[in-house]
Amino acid sequence: MEAFSAPCGDEEIADPPAEREVAASASAKASSGQSSERGSSRGGGEASSPVSLTQKIEALKMAQKEAREAKRKASLELKLAKRKKSRILKKARQLSTVDLMAVLTCRSEVVTKKSSSSSSQRA
């Protein structure tokens, strides 16, 4: 019972952001000091309020759907990266020291050839 008679500050914490915006706009309209003549036209404004609320709900649903899709995509990329890493590590464990030395030797030869060819082109 006490939650219903609590000040608006407590209610704002419990409400989702979209509901807070609607409640804030409604309280702003009520506190703006509109006359009773405008009060009758305000009834039409309230009829458009559910439409905007519906639009906000749809926008939130779309944002939620996009967030879920982004999460799925990120999870898939992470999963694939972990698999790739495990495959590389598995292959690396199978290599012997001689194999690794052969790779390093080949790489150093390629670097030496590139540097000698670039220096001969400069001259």
- What are the pLDDT digits (tens) for 21-51? 655 555 555 555 444 444 444 444 455 567 7
Mean pLDDT of 95-122: 84
> Is residue 4 predicted with pLDDT exceeding 50?
no
Residue 75 has pLDDT above 60, yes or no: yes
At residue 73, does pLDDT exceed 90?
yes
Cα separation of 91 and 111, whole Å? 25
Write down the domain spans for the chain.
34-122
pTM of the shown model: 0.40
